[in-house]
């Protein structure tokens, strides 16, 4: 779900009229920021490999006590889906589209949100036994 929402949001932002950013409240703007990860074939292979390692590790960890909790699983799923969103852009040799601008933080996208929120959710659940 994180992967699908990320790709959908990036697609919508790229075709949205430019005046959309002017409608947003001052504390939150929609801007179009493309960041290229100059990933040649070797680096793309490494990125895919790291993503696969994360997926396999999440599956393996889910067998450990506490790691099977729904919030941990949800958090890991969000993080892996978010990472997949940015990985898909890189694999297609497209720029990673960032569009959420808070003004006081670097511009980011839904994939970045899913990664951070997912890992925090998993960590808090593991620590608090929720």
As annotated, the active-site residues are 98, 112
The end-to-end CA distance of the chain, in Å, is 23
Provide CB contacts within 8 A for 86, sequence distance 6+.
6, 96, 109, 111, 112
CB atoms within 10 A of CB 53: 10
């Amino acid at each position: 779900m994180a992967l699908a929402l990320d790709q959908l949001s990036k697609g919508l932002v790229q075709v949205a009229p430019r005046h959309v950013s002017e409608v947003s409240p001052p504390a939150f703007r929609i801007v179009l920021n493309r960041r290229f990860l100059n990933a040649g074939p070797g680096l793309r292979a490494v990125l895919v490999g790291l993503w696969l390692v994360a997926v396999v590790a999440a599956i393996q960890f889910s067998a450990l006590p506490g790691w099977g909790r729904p919030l941990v699983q949800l958090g890991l799923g969000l993080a892996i889906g978010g990472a997949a969103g940015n990985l898909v852009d890189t694999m297609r040799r497209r720029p990673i589209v960032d569009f959420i601008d808070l003004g006081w933080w670097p511009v980011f996208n839904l994939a970045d949100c899913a990664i951070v929120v997912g890992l925090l959710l998993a960590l808090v659940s593991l620590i608090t036994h929720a």
